[in-house]
Amino acid sequence: MPVEGGSSSGSASATRHPKQKRKAHSLSIRRTNSTEERPPGILRGDMLEGQDSKLPLALRNNLLDLFGQIEREFENLYIENLELRREIDSLNERLTGDGQAVDGGDPTKGALKAKASHSTSQLSQKLKTTYKASTSKIVSSFKATAGSRALCQLLKEYIGHRDGIWDLGITRTQPVVLGTASADHSALLWSIETGKCLLRYAGHAGSVNSIKFHPTEQMALTASGDQTAHIWRYMVQLPAPQPPPDVSAPCDDDQDSSDREEGEVDGDGPSEVPTVRVATATLKSHQGVVIAADWLVGGRQIVTASWDRAANLYEVETSELVHTLTGHDQELTHCCTHPTQRLVVTASRDTTFRLWDFRDPSIHSVNVFQGHTDTVTSAVFTVGDNVVSGSDDRTVKVWDLKNMRSPITTIRTDSAVNRISVSANQRIIALPHDNRQVRLFDMSGVRLARLPRSNRMGHRRMVCCTAWNEENQACNLFTCGFDRQAIGWNINIPALLQEK
């Protein structure tokens, strides 16, 4: 999770240590309280003679008792092992004897042997058939992968941040550029076609955790670990386009990127780019890290989510706090607004996300969605009446706003899910994972593809966020990760749906 200086990776090990200590402690108590007595012929004094030790006699005696108990336990295990070996040898001899008796000419035993042989043959044939079918399925999956080489093409890599990238977004006005928010206290704007950095925002004093663009004006909204959200204006000029690289790969992989050092980034980053250092408006009402922020429909109000367990609604023109949205029991992790209605969702570490309704100025209703068992890392609206939520419990759930009691679709994965995104036109869900994978699913939970991840392309560390761009009849997916880079992909949607 984003913090001011980076991320912490020791929480899992910290939670495992107490369990290991409790287990070891109970084991030592059980052994210490053993009632077995030492053999009468051995005296502690005889064992201690001739040994030079500064330990007190009582402590040495206690240690000798414990070592004696350990030795007896190993001795008992050794005896049990010998007994088991004898039983196994005896059973083998009996089976061998039965086989010889059958060969001796007993017709009933011969019939039994023939029947057993027939059953064994049937079982063997069944196993061969099952193995052949599973092998054919694996081979067919490889063929499908080979036939889908044009599904995902690497568009461009955007390299220049000095720390992990938490979030990214696409401008909604011309010119269309890519924005990235990083733990290096900066936000960068990029040319999508050339990968060149166009502008840097350096007004924050902490990690930049989120970036969103105004729906109609050239303004950006960033949230930061310095407990503020900034609104700032930008002006960029796109460079001349370059011919796209002829790089394609299947939407799957079987290679690892261990050849390169983790966190290694090619290039030295952008230099001598225009820099904006002063915000148009600074929002300071939170008492903790501001983890996310977004524009409400129309761009006249914004909502921010913070680790102080509250979300705030502000007026853009005056920067005044309009409402404080409270109710979550733990830190907020994300917030998102509906593209056409005055609706807001906030996600939290309390395993829930909440829907806030501002369509009626006199009533601000709230609904709680309870379906995850771990931190809800993101919740986003679709163009229709659905909300898609991702969680650290390795699931993604699709919800109907008209029936919020249970999800209509549950997608189960093998890794924690970070900030997801849903394409507006095709309603395809892009899932970024902690294990560096990016998977694509449709709204019914059918897996469509997995983005390439090999030594040549893909992320080398945790993928933090995804964002879609469906301008000019092209469908591009952008991903960012803690390997300090963002990547643009060209997704062949017709071929993708045909593969489905």
Q: Is 461 in contact with 480 (CB distance < 8 Å)?
A: no
Partners of 211 in beta bridges: 222
What span, in angstroms and rounded, lies between the C-alpha atoms of 99 and 414? 49
Within-domain flag for 26:
no
| pLDDT class of 481 with cuts at 50, 70, 90 | very high
Can you tell me the mean pLDDT for 205-233? 97
Higher pLDDT, 118 or 225: 225
Tens digit of pLDDT for each residue in 109-159? 444 444 445 555 555 555 555 554 444 444 444 444 434 446 888 999 999
Within-domain flag for 81:
no
Residue 459, domain extent: 152-499
Partners of 220 in beta bridges: 213, 232
Task: Please report the pLDDT score of residue 54 as a whole number.
Answer: 77
| pLDDT class of 309 with cuts at 50, 70, 90 | very high
Task: Please report the pLDDT score of residue 200 as a whole number.
Answer: 98
Q: Is 327 in contact with 305 (CB distance < 8 Å)?
A: no
Q: Which residues contact 24 (CB under 8 A, 6 or more apart)?
A: none
Can you tell me the mean pLDDT for 9-24? 42
Task: Please report the pLDDT score of residue 362 as a whole number.
Answer: 75
Least confident span in 60-74, 246-260, 277-291, 484-498: 246-260
Mean pLDDT over each residue of the chain, to the nearest integer: 80
User: DSSP states of 389-450 as a string?
Assistant: EEETTSEEEEEETTB-SS-SEEEE-SS-B-B-EE-TTT-EEEEEBTTS-EEEEETTS-EEEE
Q: Are strands 275-276 and 197-201 parallel, antiparallel or unpaired?
A: parallel
Is the full-model pTM beyond 0.85? no
**C-alpha dist (Å) from residue 17 to 28, 276, 374:** 17, 46, 20
Tens digit of pLDDT for each residue in 57-88? 888 888 888 888 888 888 888 888 888 888 88
Structure tokens belonging to residue 324? 């404080």
Task: Please report the pLDDT score of residue 146 as a whole number.
Answer: 39
Within-domain flag for 170:
yes
Within-domain flag for 461:
yes
Structure tokens belonging to residue 100? 């010889």
Higher pLDDT, 440 or 109: 440
Within-domain flag for 415:
yes
Least confident span in 216-225, 394-403, 432-441, 491-500: 491-500
Structure tokens belonging to residue 211? 């970036």
Task: Please report the pLDDT score of residue 250 as a whole number.
Answer: 55
Q: How many CB atoms lie within 10 A of CB 247?
A: 13
Least confident span in 187-196, 398-407, 439-448: 398-407
Within-domain flag for 178:
yes
Higher pLDDT, 379 or 102: 379
Within-domain flag for 345:
yes
Dihedral sign for Cα 468, 469, 470, 473, please: negative
Q: Which residues contact 324 (CB under 8 A, 6 or more apart)?
A: 285, 310, 311, 312, 313
CATH code for the domain of 473 = 2.130.10.10
Query: Dihedrals φ, ψ of 142, to 5°?
Result: -65, -40
The amino acid at residue 198 is: L
Q: In the chain, count H helices and then E strands.
A: 5, 30
Q: How many domains does the chain have?
A: 1
Within-domain flag for 75:
no
